[in-house]
A = this chain, B = another copy of it.
């Protein structure tokens, strides 16, 4: 007897939708999502698509009315519960377009719960396009299997971020003047955490003093080479996930 093929198929496309999902719910899709499913992934009626809405886990849905520019999907079965990601925020000064997009994409893949753009004195870029960053978070979440997007906060000036800093959240920051090795710093402070990364030109002396004055601040060292801002963000996030996050289980999917 031949084995029953796995369902949903491993190759099923994944799509983030704004519709609240649930058993039997019809999900109309148009725009970019429809283009991706119909023209890129060649979804036909009866095919399976995996959907997530950021709240309801992941659902397998069947394509019902596939037209040229839109289609309807019907939720059949929940395939993953709503996930919990580690309680880790990435607070990063905006940097130029391609590189901040990379930070957003990698933050989502690595499992960051919240991305906070932070305005600093040496920020060369003083605006962020939240819609573009959101699009990168969506694409990364579709690819990496997350069932929810990282929260994307509006940009906040550094002083304001620090003034309102939650008492119980450790604030790791990469201090050019030196800090504890990450492996020690992370192990010493389990629990809710955030990583603060400056712009390409680093923090000013006044900013560094302000950060260091926060009781939750812990200076970390990122080694002897000068890392680009986005490399620092990605590398330190990965190290925190491996030390304190959910990369400590023995099974991957």
**At the interface with chain B, which of A23-31, A68-76, A88-96, A234-242?**
A234-242
Kindly state the separation between the CA atoms of A23 and B252 in the bound complex, as whole angstroms: 54
Task: Determine whether A225 belongs to the interface, using a CB cutoff of 8 Å to chain B.
Answer: yes
Q: Are A227 and B181 in contact (CB under 8 A)?
A: no
Q: How far apart are the CA atoms of A250 and B218 in the complex, in Å? A: 13
Contact B146 A110 (CB under 8 A): no
Q: How far is the CA of A145 from the CA of B222 in the complex (A)?
A: 14
Q: Give the chain B neighbours of A223 by CB distance below 8 A.
A: 110-111, 241-242, 245-247, 249, 252
Q: Please report the total number of A residues contacting B with Cβ < 8 Å.
A: 44
Task: Kindly state whether residue A106 has any CB partner on chain B within 8 Å.
Answer: yes
A2, CB-defined interface residue at 8 Å: no
Interface residues of A in 211-253 (CB under 8 A from B): 221-228, 231, 234-236, 238-239, 241-243, 245-253
Residues from chain B with a CB closer than 8 A to the CB of A102 are 102
Indicate if A182 sits at the interface (CB-CB under 8 A).
Answer: yes
Contacts A145-B225, A176-B252, A239-B238; A231 near B106 (Cβ below 8 A) = yes
A180 at the interface (CB under 8 A from B): yes
A178 is an interface residue with CB less than 8 A from chain B: yes
Interface presence of A192 (CB below 8 A) = no
A127 interfacial contact with B, CB 8 Å? no
- Do B238 and A221 touch across chains, with their CB atoms under 8 A apart? no
Given A143-B226, A181-B249, 20 additional A-B pairs, CB 8 A = A110-B223, A110-B227, A110-B235, A144-B225, A144-B226, A144-B227, A144-B228, A145-B224, A178-B252, A179-B250, A181-B248, A183-B183, A183-B242, A183-B248, A221-B252, A223-B242, A223-B246, A224-B253, A231-B234, A236-B238
A interface list, Cβ under 8 A from B: 102, 106, 109-111, 143-146, 175-183, 221-228, 231, 234-236, 238-239, 241-243, 245-253
3 A-B pairs closest in CB distance: A223-B247, A235-B238, A181-B248
